[in-house]
Protein backbone atom coordinates (compact mmCIF):
# COMPACT_ATOMS: atom_id res chain seq x y z
CA UNK A 1 0.00 0.00 0.00
CA UNK A 2 1.21 3.45 -0.88
CA UNK A 3 2.36 5.82 1.83
CA UNK A 4 -0.17 8.43 2.86
CA UNK A 5 0.70 12.10 2.73
CA UNK A 6 -1.07 15.13 4.12
CA UNK A 7 -1.47 18.27 1.99
CA UNK A 8 -3.54 21.41 2.35
CA UNK A 9 -5.64 22.93 -0.46
CA UNK A 10 -6.98 26.40 0.34
CA UNK A 11 -6.63 25.50 3.99
CA UNK A 12 -8.55 22.22 3.68
CA UNK A 13 -6.57 19.24 4.90
CA UNK A 14 -6.41 16.32 2.50
CA UNK A 15 -4.92 12.87 3.03
CA UNK A 16 -3.90 11.07 -0.13
CA UNK A 17 -1.53 8.44 -1.51
CA UNK A 18 2.01 9.63 -2.02
CA UNK A 19 2.72 10.11 -5.73
CA UNK A 20 -0.86 10.80 -6.77
CA UNK A 21 -1.12 14.01 -8.77
CA UNK A 22 -2.66 16.97 -7.02
CA UNK A 23 -5.53 17.04 -9.56
CA UNK A 24 -6.43 13.43 -8.67
CA UNK A 25 -5.98 13.93 -4.95
CA UNK A 26 -8.14 17.05 -5.04
CA UNK A 27 -10.86 15.37 -7.10
CA UNK A 28 -11.09 12.43 -4.70
CA UNK A 29 -11.52 14.85 -1.84
CA UNK A 30 -14.20 17.06 -3.36
CA UNK A 31 -11.99 19.88 -4.59
CA UNK A 32 -12.27 20.89 -8.24
CA UNK A 33 -9.13 22.00 -10.07
CA UNK A 34 -10.04 22.91 -13.66
CA UNK A 35 -8.22 21.00 -16.42
CA UNK A 36 -8.31 20.85 -20.21
CA UNK A 37 -5.41 18.82 -21.56
CA UNK A 38 -5.46 16.39 -18.64
CA UNK A 39 -7.36 13.16 -19.19
CA UNK A 40 -7.94 10.42 -16.62
CA UNK A 41 -5.96 7.33 -17.55
CA UNK A 42 -3.52 9.12 -19.87
CA UNK A 43 -0.13 10.53 -18.98
CA UNK A 44 -0.42 14.19 -17.95
CA UNK A 45 1.21 16.75 -20.20
CA UNK A 46 0.79 20.03 -18.35
CA UNK A 47 0.54 22.11 -21.52
CA UNK A 48 -2.75 24.01 -21.20
CA UNK A 49 -1.89 25.46 -17.76
CA UNK A 50 -5.56 25.52 -16.73
CA UNK A 51 -4.75 23.54 -13.58
CA UNK A 52 -2.21 26.12 -12.45
CA UNK A 53 -2.05 26.29 -8.66
CA UNK A 54 0.38 27.75 -6.19
CA UNK A 55 2.35 25.33 -4.06
CA UNK A 56 4.22 26.95 -1.21
CA UNK A 57 3.84 30.24 -3.12
CA UNK A 58 5.16 28.94 -6.45
CA UNK A 59 3.12 28.48 -9.63
CA UNK A 60 2.90 24.79 -10.60
CA UNK A 61 0.60 22.62 -12.73
CA UNK A 62 -1.58 20.41 -10.56
CA UNK A 63 -1.87 17.65 -13.20
CA UNK A 64 1.86 16.94 -13.34
CA UNK A 65 2.83 17.53 -9.71
CA UNK A 66 2.68 14.55 -7.34
CA UNK A 67 1.35 15.21 -3.88
CA UNK A 68 4.06 15.38 -1.25
CA UNK A 69 3.85 15.80 2.47
CA UNK A 70 3.46 19.34 3.75
CA UNK A 71 2.38 21.01 0.51
CA UNK A 72 0.32 24.17 0.98
CA UNK A 73 -1.74 24.55 -2.18
CA UNK A 74 -3.64 27.65 -3.29
CA UNK A 75 -6.44 26.85 -5.73
CA UNK A 76 -9.56 29.07 -5.65
CA UNK A 77 -7.84 32.41 -5.06
CA UNK A 78 -8.68 35.57 -7.05
CA UNK A 79 -5.14 35.70 -8.48
CA UNK A 80 -5.21 32.12 -9.80
CA UNK A 81 -8.82 32.25 -11.02
CA UNK A 82 -8.06 35.43 -12.98
CA UNK A 83 -5.01 33.74 -14.47
CA UNK A 84 -7.11 30.75 -15.55
CA UNK A 85 -9.78 33.02 -17.03
CA UNK A 86 -7.13 34.73 -19.16
CA UNK A 87 -6.02 31.32 -20.51
CA UNK A 88 -9.59 30.56 -21.60
CA UNK A 89 -9.85 33.97 -23.25
CA UNK A 90 -6.56 33.40 -25.09
CA UNK A 91 -7.83 30.05 -26.36
CA UNK A 92 -11.05 31.67 -27.57
CA UNK A 93 -9.27 34.37 -29.58
CA UNK A 94 -6.47 32.20 -30.95
CA UNK A 95 -8.83 29.71 -32.65
CA UNK A 96 -12.15 30.08 -34.41
CA UNK A 97 -14.66 29.11 -31.74
CA UNK A 98 -18.12 29.78 -33.16
CA UNK A 99 -20.23 28.28 -30.40
CA UNK A 100 -23.64 28.85 -32.06
CA UNK A 101 -22.70 26.65 -35.03
CA UNK A 102 -20.72 24.00 -33.16
CA UNK A 103 -22.18 20.55 -32.50
CA UNK A 104 -20.18 20.27 -29.29
CA UNK A 105 -21.77 23.38 -27.79
CA UNK A 106 -23.23 22.53 -24.39
CA UNK A 107 -20.89 19.56 -24.02
CA UNK A 108 -17.66 21.48 -24.65
CA UNK A 109 -15.18 21.76 -21.80
CA UNK A 110 -13.62 24.99 -23.08
CA UNK A 111 -17.05 26.61 -23.30
CA UNK A 112 -18.03 25.19 -19.90
CA UNK A 113 -14.93 26.72 -18.33
CA UNK A 114 -15.77 30.06 -19.97
CA UNK A 115 -19.24 29.78 -18.40
CA UNK A 116 -17.77 28.90 -15.04
CA UNK A 117 -15.53 31.97 -15.14
CA UNK A 118 -18.34 34.09 -16.66
CA UNK A 119 -16.38 35.20 -19.69
CA UNK A 120 -18.58 37.84 -21.30
CA UNK A 121 -15.97 38.85 -23.87
CA UNK A 122 -12.27 37.98 -24.23
CA UNK A 123 -9.98 40.86 -23.28
CA UNK A 124 -7.71 40.09 -26.27
CA UNK A 125 -8.35 40.91 -29.95
CA UNK A 126 -9.64 38.06 -32.12
CA UNK A 127 -7.09 36.45 -34.40
CA UNK A 128 -9.45 34.68 -36.85
CA UNK A 129 -6.70 32.38 -38.15
CA UNK A 130 -7.19 30.52 -41.43
CA UNK A 131 -7.61 26.83 -40.63
CA UNK A 132 -8.60 23.72 -42.52
CA UNK A 133 -11.28 21.09 -41.99
CA UNK A 134 -10.63 17.45 -42.89
CA UNK A 135 -13.80 15.50 -43.66
CA UNK A 136 -12.27 12.69 -45.69
CA UNK A 137 -12.63 9.96 -43.05
CA UNK A 138 -15.97 8.12 -43.21
CA UNK A 139 -17.07 8.71 -39.62
CA UNK A 140 -15.32 11.78 -38.26
CA UNK A 141 -14.52 15.36 -39.14
CA UNK A 142 -11.27 16.90 -37.86
CA UNK A 143 -11.81 20.65 -37.61
CA UNK A 144 -8.60 22.62 -37.01
CA UNK A 145 -10.56 25.81 -36.28
CA UNK A 146 -11.54 24.45 -32.87
CA UNK A 147 -8.47 22.40 -31.97
CA UNK A 148 -6.67 23.50 -28.80
CA UNK A 149 -3.75 21.06 -29.29
CA UNK A 150 -4.37 19.31 -25.97
CA UNK A 151 -3.19 15.95 -27.37
CA UNK A 152 -5.99 14.00 -25.67
CA UNK A 153 -6.99 12.29 -28.93
CA UNK A 154 -3.39 11.39 -29.70
CA UNK A 155 -2.93 9.80 -26.29
CA UNK A 156 -6.21 7.93 -25.96
CA UNK A 157 -7.35 6.87 -29.45
CA UNK A 158 -5.33 3.83 -30.56
CA UNK A 159 -5.98 0.56 -32.38
CA UNK A 160 -5.43 -2.95 -30.94
CA UNK A 161 -1.75 -2.81 -31.78
CA UNK A 162 -1.34 0.49 -29.97
CA UNK A 163 -0.94 2.56 -33.12
CA UNK A 164 -2.13 6.17 -32.85
CA UNK A 165 -4.86 7.49 -35.14
CA UNK A 166 -3.95 11.10 -34.49
CA UNK A 167 -0.57 12.82 -34.61
CA UNK A 168 1.11 16.19 -34.39
CA UNK A 169 2.12 17.76 -37.69
CA UNK A 170 4.45 20.74 -38.22
CA UNK A 171 5.79 22.84 -35.36
CA UNK A 172 5.38 26.20 -33.65
CA UNK A 173 2.43 28.29 -34.85
CA UNK A 174 1.81 25.81 -37.68
CA UNK A 175 1.35 22.90 -35.24
CA UNK A 176 -1.76 20.83 -35.93
CA UNK A 177 -3.29 17.58 -34.76
CA UNK A 178 -4.13 15.54 -37.83
CA UNK A 179 -5.90 12.25 -38.41
CA UNK A 180 -3.87 9.60 -40.22
CA UNK A 181 -5.41 9.29 -43.68
CA UNK A 182 -5.26 5.50 -43.97
CA UNK A 183 -6.15 4.72 -40.37
CA UNK A 184 -8.96 7.29 -40.47
CA UNK A 185 -10.56 5.33 -43.29
CA UNK A 186 -10.49 2.15 -41.20
CA UNK A 187 -11.67 3.74 -37.95
CA UNK A 188 -14.75 2.07 -36.49
CA UNK A 189 -17.92 3.94 -35.58
CA UNK A 190 -17.42 3.14 -31.90
CA UNK A 191 -13.90 4.54 -31.87
CA UNK A 192 -15.01 7.61 -33.82
CA UNK A 193 -17.64 8.28 -31.15
CA UNK A 194 -15.05 7.83 -28.43
CA UNK A 195 -12.71 10.26 -30.20
CA UNK A 196 -15.45 12.89 -30.20
CA UNK A 197 -16.16 12.26 -26.51
CA UNK A 198 -12.51 12.48 -25.53
CA UNK A 199 -12.02 15.77 -27.39
CA UNK A 200 -12.62 18.62 -24.91
CA UNK A 201 -13.80 20.92 -27.72
CA UNK A 202 -15.57 20.40 -31.05
CA UNK A 203 -12.47 19.64 -33.07
CA UNK A 204 -13.41 15.98 -33.54
CA UNK A 205 -17.00 15.57 -34.67
CA UNK A 206 -18.77 12.26 -35.28
CA UNK A 207 -20.55 12.31 -38.63
CA UNK A 208 -24.10 11.14 -39.42
CA UNK A 209 -25.78 12.57 -36.31
CA UNK A 210 -25.55 16.05 -34.82
CA UNK A 211 -27.38 18.37 -32.42
CA UNK A 212 -29.16 15.28 -31.06
CA UNK A 213 -29.48 16.66 -27.52
CA UNK A 214 -31.79 19.66 -27.19
CA UNK A 215 -30.63 22.83 -25.44
CA UNK A 216 -31.34 22.49 -21.73
CA UNK A 217 -30.42 18.80 -21.48
CA UNK A 218 -26.73 18.96 -22.41
CA UNK A 219 -23.90 18.35 -20.00
CA UNK A 220 -23.14 21.93 -18.98
CA UNK A 221 -26.52 23.60 -19.57
CA UNK A 222 -27.67 23.65 -15.95
CA UNK A 223 -24.64 23.08 -13.76
CA UNK A 224 -21.11 24.52 -14.05
CA UNK A 225 -18.25 22.21 -14.91
CA UNK A 226 -16.70 20.90 -11.70
CA UNK A 227 -19.85 21.24 -9.62
CA UNK A 228 -20.05 17.43 -9.47
CA UNK A 229 -16.69 17.48 -7.68
CA UNK A 230 -16.77 20.65 -5.59
CA UNK A 231 -18.30 20.38 -2.18
CA UNK B 1 -38.67 58.18 -12.10
CA UNK B 2 -37.92 59.70 -15.46
CA UNK B 3 -38.02 57.21 -18.31
CA UNK B 4 -34.66 56.11 -19.70
CA UNK B 5 -34.20 56.48 -23.45
CA UNK B 6 -33.23 53.33 -25.35
CA UNK B 7 -32.02 52.85 -28.90
CA UNK B 8 -31.44 49.52 -30.65
CA UNK B 9 -30.06 48.42 -33.99
CA UNK B 10 -29.13 45.30 -35.90
CA UNK B 11 -25.85 45.51 -37.81
CA UNK B 12 -24.51 42.27 -39.33
CA UNK B 13 -27.02 40.24 -37.34
CA UNK B 14 -30.15 38.22 -38.07
CA UNK B 15 -32.58 40.12 -35.80
CA UNK B 16 -32.65 37.06 -33.56
CA UNK B 17 -31.42 39.17 -30.63
CA UNK B 18 -34.27 41.62 -31.21
CA UNK B 19 -36.64 38.65 -31.22
CA UNK B 20 -35.15 37.68 -27.88
CA UNK B 21 -35.92 41.18 -26.56
CA UNK B 22 -39.55 40.49 -27.47
CA UNK B 23 -39.24 37.16 -25.63
CA UNK B 24 -39.51 39.05 -22.33
CA UNK B 25 -43.23 38.41 -22.95
CA UNK B 26 -45.65 40.32 -20.72
CA UNK B 27 -42.76 42.13 -19.04
CA UNK B 28 -42.82 44.31 -22.16
CA UNK B 29 -45.68 46.15 -20.42
CA UNK B 30 -43.36 46.89 -17.50
CA UNK B 31 -40.63 47.86 -19.93
CA UNK B 32 -42.64 50.63 -21.55
CA UNK B 33 -43.24 52.06 -18.08
CA UNK B 34 -39.46 52.17 -17.54
CA UNK B 35 -38.13 53.23 -20.93
CA UNK B 36 -38.87 55.17 -24.05
CA UNK B 37 -37.56 53.92 -27.39
CA UNK B 38 -35.76 56.28 -29.71
CA UNK B 39 -33.94 55.11 -32.87
CA UNK B 40 -34.88 51.46 -33.14
CA UNK B 41 -36.54 48.96 -35.48
CA UNK B 42 -39.06 48.45 -32.65
CA UNK B 43 -40.71 51.82 -33.31
CA UNK B 44 -39.14 52.48 -36.73
CA UNK B 45 -37.52 55.78 -35.73
CA UNK B 46 -34.70 56.06 -38.27
CA UNK B 47 -32.45 58.76 -36.77
CA UNK B 48 -31.55 59.86 -33.26
CA UNK B 49 -33.87 62.66 -32.14
CA UNK B 50 -32.49 63.07 -28.59
CA UNK B 51 -29.61 61.89 -26.40
CA UNK B 52 -29.99 58.23 -25.54
CA UNK B 53 -29.18 56.53 -22.22
CA UNK B 54 -28.75 52.95 -23.36
CA UNK B 55 -27.83 51.81 -26.86
CA UNK B 56 -28.21 48.13 -27.69
CA UNK B 57 -26.30 46.80 -30.68
CA UNK B 58 -26.93 43.45 -32.30
CA UNK B 59 -24.51 42.10 -34.93
CA UNK B 60 -20.90 42.87 -35.78
CA UNK B 61 -19.50 45.14 -38.49
CA UNK B 62 -19.30 43.58 -41.95
CA UNK B 63 -19.61 46.73 -44.10
CA UNK B 64 -19.09 50.50 -44.09
CA UNK B 65 -22.72 51.21 -43.18
CA UNK B 66 -22.43 49.02 -40.05
CA UNK B 67 -19.40 51.05 -38.98
CA UNK B 68 -21.21 54.34 -39.57
CA UNK B 69 -24.30 53.25 -37.60
CA UNK B 70 -22.17 51.86 -34.78
CA UNK B 71 -20.18 55.11 -34.53
CA UNK B 72 -23.41 57.12 -34.43
CA UNK B 73 -24.62 54.86 -31.61
CA UNK B 74 -21.42 55.46 -29.66
CA UNK B 75 -21.78 59.20 -30.22
CA UNK B 76 -25.44 59.37 -29.17
CA UNK B 77 -25.61 56.78 -26.38
CA UNK B 78 -24.26 57.12 -22.86
CA UNK B 79 -24.04 53.37 -22.41
CA UNK B 80 -23.45 50.94 -25.25
CA UNK B 81 -24.25 47.23 -25.00
CA UNK B 82 -23.05 44.51 -27.37
CA UNK B 83 -25.98 42.11 -27.55
CA UNK B 84 -25.30 38.55 -28.73
CA UNK B 85 -22.43 36.57 -30.20
CA UNK B 86 -22.26 38.49 -33.51
CA UNK B 87 -21.77 41.84 -31.77
CA UNK B 88 -19.28 40.29 -29.35
CA UNK B 89 -17.16 38.16 -31.67
CA UNK B 90 -18.51 38.57 -35.22
CA UNK B 91 -20.66 35.45 -34.99
CA UNK B 92 -21.68 33.46 -38.02
CA UNK B 93 -20.94 36.28 -40.53
CA UNK B 94 -17.34 36.11 -39.27
CA UNK B 95 -17.04 32.57 -40.61
CA UNK B 96 -15.83 34.34 -43.75
CA UNK B 97 -12.95 35.96 -41.89
CA UNK B 98 -10.40 33.35 -42.92
CA UNK B 99 -11.33 33.66 -46.60
CA UNK B 100 -10.08 36.55 -48.80
CA UNK B 101 -12.94 38.93 -49.70
CA UNK B 102 -12.37 38.45 -53.43
CA UNK B 103 -12.90 34.71 -53.06
CA UNK B 104 -16.11 35.28 -51.08
CA UNK B 105 -17.54 37.57 -53.77
CA UNK B 106 -16.51 35.23 -56.57
CA UNK B 107 -18.23 32.30 -54.86
CA UNK B 108 -21.35 34.31 -54.03
CA UNK B 109 -21.91 36.06 -57.36
CA UNK B 110 -19.92 34.32 -60.09
CA UNK B 111 -19.09 30.70 -59.44
CA UNK B 112 -21.42 29.38 -56.73
CA UNK B 113 -23.95 26.69 -57.69
CA UNK B 114 -26.92 29.07 -57.39
CA UNK B 115 -25.71 32.04 -59.46
CA UNK B 116 -27.18 30.89 -62.81
CA UNK B 117 -29.37 34.00 -63.10
CA UNK B 118 -26.38 36.35 -62.95
CA UNK B 119 -25.78 35.94 -66.68
CA UNK B 120 -23.95 39.27 -67.01
CA UNK B 121 -21.42 38.09 -64.40
CA UNK B 122 -21.26 41.36 -62.47
CA UNK B 123 -20.39 41.89 -58.84
CA UNK B 124 -22.69 44.35 -56.98
CA UNK B 125 -21.07 47.73 -57.64
CA UNK B 126 -23.79 50.36 -57.20
CA UNK B 127 -22.59 53.52 -55.42
CA UNK B 128 -25.54 53.24 -53.05
CA UNK B 129 -24.33 49.93 -51.70
CA UNK B 130 -22.07 49.96 -48.62
CA UNK B 131 -18.56 48.61 -49.09
CA UNK B 132 -17.80 45.21 -47.59
CA UNK B 133 -15.02 45.24 -45.01
CA UNK B 134 -12.04 42.91 -45.36
CA UNK B 135 -13.46 40.90 -42.48
CA UNK B 136 -16.27 41.01 -39.94
CA UNK B 137 -15.29 42.94 -36.81
CA UNK B 138 -16.65 42.60 -33.29
CA UNK B 139 -18.22 45.91 -32.20
CA UNK B 140 -15.67 46.54 -29.45
CA UNK B 141 -12.87 46.45 -32.03
CA UNK B 142 -14.50 49.47 -33.74
CA UNK B 143 -15.82 51.59 -30.83
CA UNK B 144 -15.70 51.37 -27.05
CA UNK B 145 -18.39 49.06 -25.72
CA UNK B 146 -19.49 49.20 -22.07
CA UNK B 147 -21.32 45.91 -21.50
CA UNK B 148 -21.60 42.53 -23.17
CA UNK B 149 -24.56 40.16 -23.12
CA UNK B 150 -23.54 36.86 -24.76
CA UNK B 151 -25.85 34.28 -26.30
CA UNK B 152 -27.21 33.23 -29.66
CA UNK B 153 -29.59 34.75 -28.91
CA UNK B 154 -29.01 36.05 -25.36
CA UNK B 155 -31.70 34.67 -23.08
CA UNK B 156 -34.65 37.04 -22.63
CA UNK B 157 -34.13 36.82 -18.85
CA UNK B 158 -30.55 38.05 -19.25
CA UNK B 159 -31.64 41.01 -21.39
CA UNK B 160 -34.43 41.89 -18.98
CA UNK B 161 -32.29 41.58 -15.86
CA UNK B 162 -29.47 43.60 -17.43
CA UNK B 163 -31.82 46.40 -18.50
CA UNK B 164 -33.52 46.54 -15.11
CA UNK B 165 -30.14 46.56 -13.35
CA UNK B 166 -28.91 49.41 -15.55
CA UNK B 167 -32.08 51.45 -15.17
CA UNK B 168 -32.43 50.98 -11.41
CA UNK B 169 -28.69 51.13 -10.71
CA UNK B 170 -28.70 47.79 -8.92
CA UNK B 171 -26.07 45.13 -9.34
CA UNK B 172 -26.80 42.52 -12.01
CA UNK B 173 -27.14 38.98 -10.72
CA UNK B 174 -25.86 36.45 -13.25
CA UNK B 175 -27.34 33.00 -12.62
CA UNK B 176 -25.44 30.19 -14.36
CA UNK B 177 -28.26 29.29 -16.76
CA UNK B 178 -28.55 32.69 -18.43
CA UNK B 179 -24.99 33.27 -19.64
CA UNK B 180 -24.64 30.99 -22.67
CA UNK B 181 -22.90 31.30 -26.02
CA UNK B 182 -25.54 29.44 -28.05
Partner-chain contact B179 A118, CB within 8 Å: yes
Partner-chain contact A126 B90, CB within 8 Å: yes
Structural domains in chain A, sorted by start: 4-76 (3.10.20.740), 85-206 (no CATH)
**B157: confidence class by pLDDT, cuts 50, 70, 90:** very high
For all residues of chain A together, what is the average pLDDT? 95
Partner-chain contact B179 A111, CB within 8 Å: no
pLDDT at position A1 is: 60
**Nearest CB to B152; choose among A92, A100, A223:** A100
Partner-chain contact B176 A224, CB within 8 Å: yes
Is the model's pLDDT at A69 over the cut of 90?
A: yes
ipTM above threshold 0.95: no
Model-level pTM? 0.94
Structural domains in chain B, sorted by start: 4-95+134-178 (3.40.50.700)
Give the three-class secondary structure for B163.
helix
Q: Which residues of B touch A (CB under 8 A)?
A: 82, 85, 88-92, 94-95, 97-99, 135, 138, 140-141, 145, 147-150, 152, 174, 176-177, 179-182
**A17: confidence class by pLDDT, cuts 50, 70, 90:** very high
**Nearest CB to A115; choose among B135, B147, B179:** B179
pLDDT in tens, A173-190: 899 999 999 999 999 999
**Chain B residue whose CA is closest to A132:** B98
Is the model's pLDDT at A2 over the cut of 80?
A: no
Q: Catalogue the long-range contacts made by A82-90 (C-beta closer than 8 Å, 24 or more residues apart).
A: A83/A52, A84/A34, A84/A50, A84/A52, A84/A113, A84/A117, A85/A117, A85/A119, A86/A123, A87/A48, A87/A49, A87/A50, A87/A52, A88/A50, A88/A113, A88/A114, A88/A117, A88/A119, A89/A119, A89/A122, A89/A123, A89/A124, A90/A122, A90/A124
Partner-chain contact B177 A222, CB within 8 Å: yes
| Number of Cβ atoms within 10 Å of the Cβ of B15 | 13
**B1: confidence class by pLDDT, cuts 50, 70, 90:** confident
Amino acid sequence: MANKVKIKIDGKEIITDEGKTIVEAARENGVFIPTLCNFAGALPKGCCRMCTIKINNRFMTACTTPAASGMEVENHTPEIEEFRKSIIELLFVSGNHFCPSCEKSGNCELQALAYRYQMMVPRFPYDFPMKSVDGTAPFIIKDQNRCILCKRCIKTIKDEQGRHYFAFKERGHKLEVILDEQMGKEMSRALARKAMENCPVGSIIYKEIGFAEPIGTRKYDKMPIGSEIDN
Amino acid sequence: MEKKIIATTSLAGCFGCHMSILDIDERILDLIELVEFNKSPVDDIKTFTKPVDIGIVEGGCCNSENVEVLRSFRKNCKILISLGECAIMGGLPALRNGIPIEECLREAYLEGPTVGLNTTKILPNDDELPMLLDKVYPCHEVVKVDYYLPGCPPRADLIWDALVALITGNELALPYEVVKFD
